[in-house]
Amino acid sequence: MSGVRVVIADDERLARARIRALLTDRGRFEIVAECPSGAATLEAVRRLGPDLLFLDVQMPNGTGLDVLERLPRDERPLTIFTTAYDRYALAAFDHHAVDYLLKPFEDERFAEAVARAEAMLDRDRLRDWRDRVAALLVEVAKDDDGDDSTRPIDRFAVRVADRTTIVPVSTVTWIEGAGDYAKLHGTGQPHLIRTTMQQLERRLDPRRFIRVHRSAIVQIELVSEVRTIDEATVLILRDGTRVPVGRRYRSRLGALGIGG
Protein backbone atom coordinates (compact mmCIF):
# COMPACT_ATOMS: atom_id res chain seq x y z
CA MET A 1 0.00 0.00 0.00
CA SER A 2 1.33 3.46 -0.89
CA GLY A 3 -0.34 6.59 0.50
CA VAL A 4 -2.29 6.40 3.77
CA ARG A 5 -5.35 8.65 4.04
CA VAL A 6 -5.83 9.82 7.63
CA VAL A 7 -8.66 11.36 9.63
CA ILE A 8 -7.82 12.92 13.00
CA ALA A 9 -10.75 13.03 15.45
CA ASP A 10 -10.34 14.88 18.75
CA ASP A 11 -12.32 17.72 20.30
CA GLU A 12 -9.09 19.29 21.60
CA ARG A 13 -7.55 21.58 18.99
CA LEU A 14 -4.06 21.20 20.46
CA ALA A 15 -4.36 17.42 20.45
CA ARG A 16 -5.26 17.43 16.76
CA ALA A 17 -2.35 19.78 16.03
CA ARG A 18 0.10 17.50 17.84
CA ILE A 19 -0.92 14.43 15.85
CA ARG A 20 -0.75 16.47 12.66
CA ALA A 21 2.76 17.65 13.53
CA LEU A 22 3.96 14.13 14.36
CA LEU A 23 2.73 12.90 10.97
CA THR A 24 4.33 15.77 9.05
CA ASP A 25 7.69 14.04 8.59
CA ARG A 26 6.03 10.86 7.40
CA GLY A 27 5.45 11.56 3.72
CA ARG A 28 3.29 8.49 3.31
CA PHE A 29 0.42 10.01 5.31
CA GLU A 30 -2.18 12.40 3.90
CA ILE A 31 -4.49 14.06 6.43
CA VAL A 32 -7.85 14.33 4.68
CA ALA A 33 -9.94 15.65 7.60
CA GLU A 34 -9.77 16.84 11.20
CA CYS A 35 -12.91 16.45 13.28
CA PRO A 36 -13.85 17.97 16.68
CA SER A 37 -16.88 15.78 17.47
CA GLY A 38 -18.32 12.31 17.09
CA ALA A 39 -20.94 13.48 14.58
CA ALA A 40 -18.34 15.21 12.39
CA THR A 41 -16.10 12.13 12.54
CA LEU A 42 -18.88 9.80 11.47
CA GLU A 43 -19.71 12.04 8.51
CA ALA A 44 -16.06 12.35 7.46
CA VAL A 45 -15.38 8.61 7.63
CA ARG A 46 -18.50 7.81 5.62
CA ARG A 47 -17.69 10.45 3.00
CA LEU A 48 -13.92 10.04 2.69
CA GLY A 49 -13.26 6.38 3.52
CA PRO A 50 -9.87 6.93 5.23
CA ASP A 51 -7.31 4.17 5.71
CA LEU A 52 -6.36 5.25 9.23
CA LEU A 53 -8.32 7.02 11.96
CA PHE A 54 -6.89 8.64 15.08
CA LEU A 55 -9.94 8.54 17.32
CA ASP A 56 -10.44 10.21 20.68
CA VAL A 57 -12.48 7.90 22.90
CA GLN A 58 -14.37 10.78 24.53
CA MET A 59 -15.87 13.48 22.34
CA PRO A 60 -19.10 15.52 22.31
CA ASN A 61 -21.99 14.50 20.05
CA GLY A 62 -21.02 10.84 20.03
CA THR A 63 -17.99 9.17 21.60
CA GLY A 64 -15.29 7.51 19.55
CA LEU A 65 -16.77 4.11 20.30
CA ASP A 66 -20.21 5.38 19.26
CA VAL A 67 -18.72 6.36 15.90
CA LEU A 68 -17.35 2.88 15.25
CA GLU A 69 -20.53 1.22 16.45
CA ARG A 70 -22.59 3.21 13.93
CA LEU A 71 -20.35 2.20 11.04
CA PRO A 72 -20.84 -1.16 9.29
CA ARG A 73 -17.98 -3.50 10.19
CA ASP A 74 -16.53 -3.42 6.66
CA GLU A 75 -16.45 0.40 6.68
CA ARG A 76 -14.46 0.77 9.91
CA PRO A 77 -10.99 2.13 9.11
CA LEU A 78 -7.94 0.96 10.99
CA THR A 79 -8.09 2.99 14.20
CA ILE A 80 -5.60 4.16 16.79
CA PHE A 81 -7.57 5.24 19.83
CA THR A 82 -6.42 8.22 21.87
CA THR A 83 -7.67 8.58 25.41
CA ALA A 84 -6.91 10.14 28.77
CA TYR A 85 -8.82 7.24 30.39
CA ASP A 86 -11.93 8.25 32.25
CA ARG A 87 -14.66 5.66 32.54
CA TYR A 88 -13.43 3.45 29.70
CA ALA A 89 -11.28 0.56 30.90
CA LEU A 90 -7.92 0.31 29.19
CA ALA A 91 -7.90 -3.33 30.27
CA ALA A 92 -10.56 -3.95 27.61
CA PHE A 93 -8.38 -2.37 24.89
CA ASP A 94 -5.42 -4.47 26.01
CA HIS A 95 -7.50 -7.63 26.11
CA HIS A 96 -8.57 -7.23 22.49
CA ALA A 97 -5.11 -6.09 21.32
CA VAL A 98 -6.49 -2.82 19.98
CA ASP A 99 -3.85 -0.10 19.88
CA TYR A 100 -4.35 3.11 21.83
CA LEU A 101 -2.34 6.16 22.86
CA LEU A 102 -2.74 7.16 26.50
CA LYS A 103 -2.62 10.94 26.84
CA PRO A 104 -0.22 12.56 27.33
CA PHE A 105 1.79 10.22 25.08
CA GLU A 106 5.46 10.40 24.15
CA ASP A 107 6.72 10.80 20.56
CA GLU A 108 8.27 7.32 20.71
CA ARG A 109 4.97 5.72 21.70
CA PHE A 110 3.23 7.53 18.83
CA ALA A 111 5.82 6.27 16.36
CA GLU A 112 5.37 2.73 17.65
CA ALA A 113 1.59 2.85 17.18
CA VAL A 114 1.91 4.29 13.67
CA ALA A 115 4.47 1.66 12.65
CA ARG A 116 2.13 -1.06 13.87
CA ALA A 117 -0.73 0.46 11.88
CA GLU A 118 1.44 0.64 8.74
CA ALA A 119 2.35 -3.02 9.08
CA MET A 120 -1.30 -4.02 9.39
CA LEU A 121 -2.28 -1.95 6.35
CA ASP A 122 0.60 -3.36 4.27
CA ARG A 123 -0.37 -6.93 5.13
CA ASP A 124 -4.08 -6.26 4.63
CA ARG A 125 -5.01 -7.51 8.11
CA LEU A 126 -8.09 -5.30 8.45
CA ARG A 127 -10.47 -8.24 8.81
CA ASP A 128 -8.66 -9.47 11.91
CA TRP A 129 -8.57 -5.94 13.35
CA ARG A 130 -12.30 -5.42 12.68
CA ASP A 131 -13.10 -8.67 14.48
CA ARG A 132 -11.18 -7.45 17.53
CA VAL A 133 -12.92 -4.06 17.50
CA ALA A 134 -16.32 -5.73 17.23
CA ALA A 135 -15.49 -7.78 20.34
CA LEU A 136 -14.31 -4.63 22.14
CA LEU A 137 -17.58 -2.82 21.39
CA VAL A 138 -19.55 -5.75 22.80
CA GLU A 139 -17.47 -5.75 25.98
CA VAL A 140 -17.84 -2.01 26.50
CA ALA A 141 -21.60 -2.27 25.92
CA LYS A 142 -21.84 -4.94 28.64
CA ASP A 143 -19.91 -2.68 30.99
CA ASP A 144 -22.37 0.16 30.34
CA ASP A 145 -25.27 -2.19 31.09
CA GLY A 146 -23.84 -2.96 34.51
CA ASP A 147 -21.76 -6.08 33.86
CA ASP A 148 -18.68 -4.48 35.36
CA SER A 149 -15.83 -6.95 35.19
CA THR A 150 -13.10 -4.31 34.93
CA ARG A 151 -10.87 -2.90 37.63
CA PRO A 152 -11.94 0.26 39.49
CA ILE A 153 -10.79 3.52 37.97
CA ASP A 154 -7.85 5.26 39.61
CA ARG A 155 -8.00 8.62 37.85
CA PHE A 156 -10.29 10.96 35.97
CA ALA A 157 -9.65 12.82 32.72
CA VAL A 158 -10.90 16.39 32.99
CA ARG A 159 -11.22 18.72 30.03
CA VAL A 160 -10.06 22.29 30.71
CA ALA A 161 -10.35 24.39 27.53
CA ASP A 162 -7.97 22.69 25.05
CA ARG A 163 -6.19 20.64 27.71
CA THR A 164 -6.84 17.33 29.43
CA THR A 165 -5.95 17.27 33.11
CA ILE A 166 -5.50 14.01 34.99
CA VAL A 167 -7.11 13.99 38.45
CA PRO A 168 -6.16 11.02 40.68
CA VAL A 169 -9.17 9.44 42.37
CA SER A 170 -7.31 9.63 45.69
CA THR A 171 -7.47 13.45 45.62
CA VAL A 172 -11.27 13.56 45.29
CA THR A 173 -13.06 14.16 48.60
CA TRP A 174 -16.60 13.84 47.30
CA ILE A 175 -18.56 13.85 44.05
CA GLU A 176 -21.70 15.84 43.38
CA GLY A 177 -24.19 14.67 40.76
CA ALA A 178 -25.74 17.04 38.24
CA GLY A 179 -27.80 15.12 35.69
CA ASP A 180 -25.50 13.62 33.07
CA TYR A 181 -22.53 15.34 34.69
CA ALA A 182 -20.65 15.00 37.97
CA LYS A 183 -18.60 17.58 39.85
CA LEU A 184 -15.37 16.37 41.45
CA HIS A 185 -14.57 18.13 44.72
CA GLY A 186 -11.13 18.04 46.27
CA THR A 187 -8.15 20.31 46.52
CA GLY A 188 -8.40 23.39 44.35
CA GLN A 189 -11.07 24.14 41.76
CA PRO A 190 -13.93 21.61 41.34
CA HIS A 191 -13.91 19.75 38.01
CA LEU A 192 -16.92 18.81 35.88
CA ILE A 193 -16.94 15.50 33.99
CA ARG A 194 -19.57 13.98 31.74
CA THR A 195 -20.80 10.83 33.46
CA THR A 196 -23.72 9.79 35.66
CA MET A 197 -23.68 8.87 39.33
CA GLN A 198 -24.81 5.34 38.44
CA GLN A 199 -21.81 4.90 36.16
CA LEU A 200 -19.44 6.32 38.78
CA GLU A 201 -20.82 4.11 41.52
CA ARG A 202 -20.10 1.04 39.39
CA ARG A 203 -16.57 2.12 38.52
CA LEU A 204 -15.28 3.46 41.85
CA ASP A 205 -13.70 1.13 44.41
CA PRO A 206 -16.48 0.38 46.97
CA ARG A 207 -13.83 -0.02 49.66
CA ARG A 208 -12.88 3.65 49.23
CA PHE A 209 -16.07 5.38 48.11
CA ILE A 210 -19.70 5.21 49.18
CA ARG A 211 -22.80 6.68 47.63
CA VAL A 212 -24.80 8.42 50.35
CA HIS A 213 -27.33 10.34 48.28
CA ARG A 214 -28.69 10.18 44.74
CA SER A 215 -26.42 13.19 44.08
CA ALA A 216 -23.46 12.47 46.38
CA ILE A 217 -20.57 10.02 46.65
CA VAL A 218 -17.93 10.50 49.34
CA GLN A 219 -14.47 9.12 50.06
CA ILE A 220 -14.98 6.96 53.14
CA GLU A 221 -11.69 7.74 54.89
CA LEU A 222 -12.43 11.47 54.78
CA VAL A 223 -15.68 11.23 56.76
CA SER A 224 -15.01 12.54 60.26
CA GLU A 225 -18.50 12.75 61.73
CA VAL A 226 -22.15 11.83 61.19
CA ARG A 227 -24.70 14.33 62.48
CA THR A 228 -28.48 14.63 62.65
CA ILE A 229 -29.53 18.19 61.86
CA ASP A 230 -33.24 19.03 61.80
CA GLU A 231 -34.04 15.31 61.49
CA ALA A 232 -31.74 15.04 58.46
CA THR A 233 -28.54 12.97 58.42
CA VAL A 234 -25.41 14.82 57.34
CA LEU A 235 -21.81 13.68 56.88
CA ILE A 236 -19.06 16.05 57.98
CA LEU A 237 -15.85 15.63 56.00
CA ARG A 238 -12.40 16.44 57.38
CA ASP A 239 -12.33 19.75 55.53
CA GLY A 240 -15.65 20.76 57.08
CA THR A 241 -17.81 20.03 54.04
CA ARG A 242 -21.34 18.90 54.86
CA VAL A 243 -22.81 16.22 52.60
CA PRO A 244 -26.47 15.19 53.01
CA VAL A 245 -27.38 11.51 53.35
CA GLY A 246 -30.51 10.34 51.54
CA ARG A 247 -33.02 8.24 53.48
CA ARG A 248 -32.58 5.22 51.24
CA TYR A 249 -28.79 5.33 51.75
CA ARG A 250 -28.65 5.58 55.57
CA SER A 251 -28.30 1.82 56.06
CA ARG A 252 -25.04 1.86 54.11
CA LEU A 253 -23.34 3.99 56.73
CA GLY A 254 -23.62 1.41 59.49
CA ALA A 255 -22.49 -1.40 57.20
CA LEU A 256 -19.27 0.46 56.46
CA GLY A 257 -18.63 1.45 60.07
CA ILE A 258 -18.93 5.22 59.67
CA GLY A 259 -22.20 5.84 61.39
CA GLY A 260 -25.77 4.63 61.56
pLDDT tens sequence across 159-212: 666 566 778 889 999 999 987 788 999 977 888 887 888 878 888 888 899 999
Residue 23 contacts by C-beta under 8 Å, 6 or more apart in sequence?
Answer: 6, 29, 31, 114
CB 11, CB 33: distance < 8 Å:
no
Under CATH, which number does the domain 4-144 receive?
3.40.50.2300
Architecture of domain 155-255: Beta Barrel (2.40)
Question: In a 3-state reduction of DSSP, which class is residue 221?
Answer: helix
CB 238, CB 227: distance < 8 Å:
no
Helix (H) or strand (E) holding 202: helix 197-203
The domains of the chain are located at 4-144, 155-255
Residue 195 contacts by C-beta under 8 Å, 6 or more apart in sequence?
Answer: 86, 87, 180, 181, 182
- Examine domains 4-144 and 155-255 and report if their fold is the same: no
The DSSP symbol for 180 reads: T
pLDDT of residue 141: 67
The DSSP symbol for 88 reads: S
CA distance 256 to 235: 13
CA distance 38 to 91: 23
Q: What is the mean pLDDT of the chain?
A: 83
pLDDT of residue 111: 92
pLDDT of residue 166: 77
- Pair type for strands 209-213 and 242-244: unpaired
The residue ranges of the chain whose pLDDT is under 50 are 87-89, 146-149, 259-260
